[in-house]
Amino acid sequence: MSAASQPPTDTVPPGDSGSPQARPARRAQRSLAMALLAGAAGAALALLASGRTWAEGSAVLAQGSVPRTVTGTEVTGVPGALAVVGLAALVAVFAVRRIGRVAVAALLTLSGAGIAVAAVLGNSDTSALREKAATAVGLTGTDVHHVTHTGWPWVAAAGGLLLLIAGLLALVYGRHWPAMSGKYERTPGGARGPRRAPAPPDLDRPEEIWKSLDRGEDPTR
């Protein structure tokens, strides 16, 4: 048979990145990297914004006005608390499989959504500022004037959206992500998995022979 009549051979290696078999693996790697970056950045933003000033105002007195400020934690503790929950859920995604991974991914998604909603609602909430003003004045129901809001609530909301994205990625692609090594897991009966057989003792070293005898082993076998 001549070379011209031979059928063309496939020049693409089986493990080539352009093959259809490699595309799901590439998508899983990209989604994993995006989820880790989005989740870590979202939790960091939410925690950072919770400790910053969200609103400023003045309580009016007969002698003048007293400026007051409130942080995100004083307005609502939800973003900070859910940021910690979301960060823990992001780590726990790799410690569980199947239904457990879906549940943890859902928790991560809900944490991000809760942070975003709480931050948006807290942006217009002046109850904490009025309470602080009443404490300064010594009269309940004291009104606050010249109220201004900073941009930190929106930073917290952006962090919540990033956590939300990380949770959605975990829900869609999490089944393809790797899990922690199974060498630390126990078998269903409670016993540890099979152990690697110990290396045979070196008969030229007396200390190895004594260690084998202490374990009840016959070093000559």
Residues of the chain with pLDDT under 70: 1-24, 61-65, 136-143, 180-221
Task: Quick: pLDDT tens for 175-206.
Answer: 888 776 544 444 444 445 455 555 665 555 55
Note the pLDDT of residue 1.
Answer: 46
What per-residue confidence (pLDDT) applies to 199?
63
State the pLDDT at residue 163.
Answer: 96
pLDDT tens-place string over residues 25-58: 777 788 888 999 999 999 999 999 999 999 888 7
User: What are the structure tokens assigned to 166, written together?
Assistant: 């990380």
pTM comes to: 0.68
